[in-house]
């Protein structure tokens, strides 16, 4: 159960800090309108992700009896994690465009996240399989993963909103880049686990 919490924390931290449409929007809104608007963007995944998770789990439950399909999904999850690791290693300075406009931060954040393919890929190939594997009659184990994931996903984005509001140096300097490199190395380990699980399911 503890390892699921660690997995959720690690993947949530990566998702919260990794460059992407939502993070760029968060920084942009913070620099334009203050950290309060950036924090609104940080909470947008809590609005959009529930239907994505439900659809992903329903799909995975439907194919649960087909070990070969699950094996392929697991290997795809490993490839997606490797891609996430690659994105972490090649992370450079974050940039943003500053324009005067009405904030509407929560609405913008929800729209950007819902139209972003990354959450769908993550929950079908990585998050969903972890939850289904963890569920063995008790909801507590997968719940630990979900809590760890979203506390760090939202929490790290809130920290970045405060950091961007106080100083641009953190989000464009070495501390941020070092964190992303470390997360990249951890994601490679998770990818190897998914590859191993996928191979076992294919030869089962």
pLDDT-derived band at 22 (thresholds 50, 70, 90) equals confident
Distance CA 112, CA 114 (A): 6
pLDDT in tens, 113-132: 887 778 888 998 899 999 98
163-167 contacts, C-beta under 8 A, 24 or more apart: 164/26, 164/27, 164/30, 164/31, 164/35, 164/38, 165/30, 165/31, 165/34, 165/35, 165/38, 166/35
The pTM assigned to this predicted structure is 0.77
- For residue 3, pLDDT over 50 is answered with yes
Residues of the chain above pLDDT 90, percent: 24
Place of tokens 């995944």: 45
pLDDT in tens, 168-177: 666 666 777 7
The structural domains of the chain, with segments of one domain joined by +, span 2-202
- For residue 143, pLDDT over 90 is answered with yes
- Residue with more model confidence, 142 or 203: 142
Distance CA 15, CA 3 (A): 18
């Amino acid at each position: 159960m503890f390892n699921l919490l660690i997995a959720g924390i690690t993947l949530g931290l990566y998702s919260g800090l990794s460059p992407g449409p939502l993070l760029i929007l968060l920084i942009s809104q913070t620099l334009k309108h203050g950290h309060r608007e950036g924090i609104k963007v940080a909470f947008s995944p809590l609005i959009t992700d529930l239907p994505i998770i439900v659809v992903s789990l329903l799909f995975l439950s439907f194919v649960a009896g087909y070990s070969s399909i699950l094996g392929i999904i697991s290997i795809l999850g490993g490839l997606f994690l490797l891609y996430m690791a690659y994105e972490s290693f090649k992370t450079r300075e974050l940039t943003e465009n500053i324009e005067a406009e009405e904030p509407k931060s929560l609405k913008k954040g929800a729209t950007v996240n819902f139209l972003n393919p990354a959450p769908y890929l993550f929950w079908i190939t990585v998050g969903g399989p972890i939850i289904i594997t963890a569920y063995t009659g008790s909801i507590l184990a997968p719940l630990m993963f979900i809590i760890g994931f979203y506390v760090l996903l939202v929490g790290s984005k809130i920290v970045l909103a405060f950091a961007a509001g106080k100083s641009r140096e953190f989000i464009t300097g070495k501390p941020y880049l070092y964190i992303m490199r470390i997360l990249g190395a951890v994601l490679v380990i998770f990818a190897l686990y998914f590859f191993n699980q996928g191979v076992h399911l294919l030869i089962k």
